[in-house]
Amino acid sequence: MNVAIGSCNIAKVKAVETALINAGYTSTLLQVDAPSNVSNMPFSDEETMQGAINRAEFCLGNPDIDMAFGLEGGVMETSFGLFLCNWGAVARRERETILAGGARIKLPEEIAVRLRTGEELGPLMDEYSMRKNVRSNEGAIGIFTNGAIDRADMFIHIMKMLIGQLR
């Protein structure tokens, strides 16, 4: 079986590889720079879900791919504040695309205010943490949990739920 991930992001690729290995899959994983076709900073569950679906389904454009995963991070406005959200999708030929969502954490208001004005979380987190490429490493979740959970961990959780639904 040929499997793809609709991203070249290090944290996302690590999550898919780890989850597949832990589930007993031995396929080689193809990394595809798939477009999400949503905004750079998805601002709802719906938009974030659609980004994950688009990434997964784009990979099936390669006739050699049998199954593809799409992972997307975004934010969701609630009456309690702005929360990180993460969604995943797995697409297979002639089957319904499967979805799963991950844990959430409220963003500090100083970050939320800037996101609401149109800034993107990745560059904002680099500035906030004084680190480089946070989105491909620990992610915002890693910064705000002091490393207790990182971006790959968040996506591994989603991958486990996706793979579990395949069985």
Q: pLDDT averaged over consecutive 10-residue blocks of the chain (167 residues)?
A: 94 94 90 96 97 98 96 97 97 95 96 95 93 89 94 94 93
Residue-range domain boundaries for the chain = 3-166
Alpha helix segments (H runs only) across 30-167: 45-59, 109-116, 121-129, 139-144, 151-166
pTM over 0.95: no
Please report the pLDDT score of residue 167 as a whole number: 76
Q: Do the Cβ atoms of 40 and 106 come closer than 8 Å?
A: no
Which residues lie closer than 8 Å to 140 by C-beta, 6 or more apart? 84, 107, 111, 121, 125, 134, 151
Q: Do the Cβ atoms of 39 and 48 come closer than 8 Å?
A: no
Please report the pLDDT score of residue 27 as a whole number: 82
Please report the pLDDT score of residue 137 as a whole number: 85
CATH of domain 3-166: 3.90.950.10
